[in-house]
Amino acid sequence: MTKWETDMERTQATTSSPANPHPPANGNGASGHDDQIDLNVPMPRPAWVVLAAVLAIGALVALLLTGWIPRQRDGKELNADADEAANAPVAVNVTRPHRAPTVVKIDLPGTLRPWQEVSIFARTTGYLKKYNVDISNEIEAGKVMAEIDTPEVNEELAQSQAALLQAKASVIRTSADRDLAKSTLQRFVAMKETQSVTPQQLDEKKSALDVAESQVQSAIANVAAAEATVRRLTEMQRFATVVAPFSGVVTGRAYDVGSLISANPTNIDIKPMFKIAQNDILRAFVNVPQSAALQIKKGMEVQITVRERSGRIFPGTVMGTTNYLDPTNRSLLTEVKVQNPREADGTFALLPGMYIQAGFTINRDTPPLVVPGPALIANASGTQVAVVSDGVVHFKKVEIGQDFGNEIEIVGGLSGDEQIIANPGERVVEGVAVSAAMNPSDQQSPAASPARVKVSAAKE
C-alpha cells in the first residue's frame, strides 16, 4: 500500500471516530459544522499519469528536433561558404605604370634679395653736420647724403701743406749746395795739373759733392712724402661729404646731427651711417632639389608668384647656379633675376626679403614611371608595390621621385610592364591568389599632361 493510500485511510478513520460524533450535515442543518472540507478525493488512475508524462516528453523532443536540426544545417552551410570564401582569390583592381610627362612644372620656395645692398661707413673722423636723406627715401647715384664737420682733418691738412712747402724749400737749398760742391770739385781738378792741390784735398771735394747729392735726393723724397700726406688728408677732407654709390632706397640710418663719426669701420661697435638697397631689380635665391638640378640652365625663364600679390606672375630669368649640391639637403642654389615693377602709387610691387614661389619648367628626355599614390606600401622593408604575376601577389621594392599628389614617380624598381594593385588592402600579402580587374578609368591619368609639383627646399 502506498503512502498516499495510508494517509487517506487515516483521514477516514478520524472523521468517523467518537471524538467527532456529529458528522457534517447536508443542507441547512443545525449542527454548525457545514464549513468543513470533504477530504474523500478519489485517487487518480496511474494510466493517465503515465500518458501525460509521455505526451510531455514527446512535445519536448519535437520542439528540440524542430530547432536543432535546421540550426545544424545552417551552420554547415555557413562553414562551407566561409571555407569557399577563404580559399577564393582576392578581388583587386590593377593598373599599369606609365611614363611621367616630358614637361614638368615645379614650384620651389625662395627668398627675394636686393640687386645691390651696401652699408656706408665714414672714411673720416668728425661730427655729423647734417643729413639729407632718411629711411625709405629714394636717392640717385652721386647725390649728397650727409656732411661731416672735420676740424682735426682740416688742421692736419694745413700742417701737411706747410710741411710740403718746407720740403720743397729744402730741395732748393740742397740743390744749391750740390751745385757749389760740384763747381769746387771742378776747380780742384783743374788745379791738380799745376800741382797746386794735394790728392787729399781733391778727395775731400769729391766726398763733399757726394754728400750734397744725397742731401738733394733726401729733400726730393721728403717732398714726395709731404705731397702724399697732403693728398691723403685732402681725400679724407673730401670724405666729409657722403654721397650715394648707386641709385636705391635708404633702408637704414644710425646717426643724428652732432654724433661723433669714427673713421675706423673695423671695430665691431661701429655702426654704418646709412644702408642703401637697389630694389628696381631683385635677386631670388632658390634651392633646386637634386632630381631637377641637371635641368636648370642659365637663361631659362622662371615664373615668380607671391601670396601677397595673388593672381600675378612676375617674370624672372636664371642668372646662374653654384654648380655644387649642398651636401646637407642635396639641393642646388640657383639665382634668379626678377624685374620689380612699380605700382600705381609709385611703390615697388615686390619687397626684398619676401617669401616667393619660383615656377621652373623642366624638360626631361627620359621621364620616370608613375603609379597611383595609394599603390605604395611603406613598412620596415622599405617602399614597395604589390605586383600581380600569374594570379599571385609579389612585392617589389621601388625608389620614388617627385610627388604629383594622386600619383608618384618611380625612379627605380619597375620596368613598366607590371600589373600594379591600385589600392592593396590587408588581405593582399605575399603569395596570395588574387582575381585582377583592370579599371578603364585608370588608363587616363592626370600625370599624362604637364604636371605642376610643389616641393620644399629641403626635399627632393
Residue 266's φ and ψ, nearest 5 degrees, are -80, -20
CA distances from 86 to 109, 427, 428 (A): 51, 10, 13
Of 281, 251, 242, the residue nearest 137 (C-alpha): 251
Within a 13 Å sphere around the CA of 168, how many CA atoms are in the beta-carbon half?
8
Domain 278-363 matching CATH 1.10.8.60: the answer reads: no
Question: Any idea which of 29-43, 142-156, 221-235 has the lowest mean pLDDT?
Answer: 29-43
H helices within 125-246, ranges in order?
A: 151-192, 199-238
CATH of 120-243, one of 1.10.1660, 1.10.10, 1.10.287, 2.60.40: 1.10.287
58-97 residue pLDDT tens: 777 776 667 666 777 777 767 666 665 556 688 888 888 8
Give the span between the Cα atoms of 327 and 286, in whole angstroms.
16
Of 362, 289, 300, 363, the residue nearest 325 (C-alpha): 289
Of 256, 237, 259, the residue nearest 127 (C-alpha): 259
Per the DSSP assignment, residues forming a β-bridge with 284 are 112, 336
Of 120, 119, 118, 126, the residue nearest 262 (C-alpha): 126
Neighbours of 271 (CB within 10 A): 16
Paired sense of beta strands 274-289 and 355-363, if any: unpaired
Mean pLDDT of 264-271: 68
**Which regions of the chain carry the CATH code 2.40.420.20?**
92-100+367-450
Whose cell is 749746395? That residue is 177
Q: Note the pLDDT of residue 81.
A: 60
Q: Note the pLDDT of residue 208.
A: 86
Residue 75 in grid coordinates: 551552420
Give the span between the Cα atoms of 269 and 292, in whole angstroms.
44
Residue 216 in grid coordinates: 738733394
Look up the pTM and report it: 0.58
Per the DSSP assignment, residues forming a β-bridge with 369 are 99, 410
> Which residues 6+ apart lie within 8 Å of 283 measured at CB?
112, 113, 114, 115, 319, 335, 336, 337, 338
End-to-end alpha carbon distance in the chain? 106
Burial 246-263 (b: 16+ CB within 10 A, else e): ebbbbbebbbeeeeebeb
Per the DSSP assignment, residues forming a β-bridge with 138 are 249
| Chain centroid, CA 99 distance in Å | 28
Q: Note the pLDDT of residue 453.
A: 53
Q: Note the pLDDT of residue 45.
A: 66
366-409 residue pLDDT tens: 788 888 888 888 888 889 998 988 888 899 999 887 777 788 88
Whose cell is 597611383? That residue is 372
Whose cell is 799745376? That residue is 194
Mean pLDDT of 355-368: 88
Give the span between the Cα atoms of 23 and 12, in whole angstroms.
12
User: What percentage of the chain reaches a pLDDT higher than 70?
Assistant: 80
Q: What is the fold of 92-100+367-450?
A: 2.40.420
Of 312, 320, 299, the residue nearest 350 (C-alpha): 312
**Which regions of the chain carry the CATH code 1.10.287?**
120-243
**Which regions of the chain carry the CATH code 2.40.30.170?**
278-363
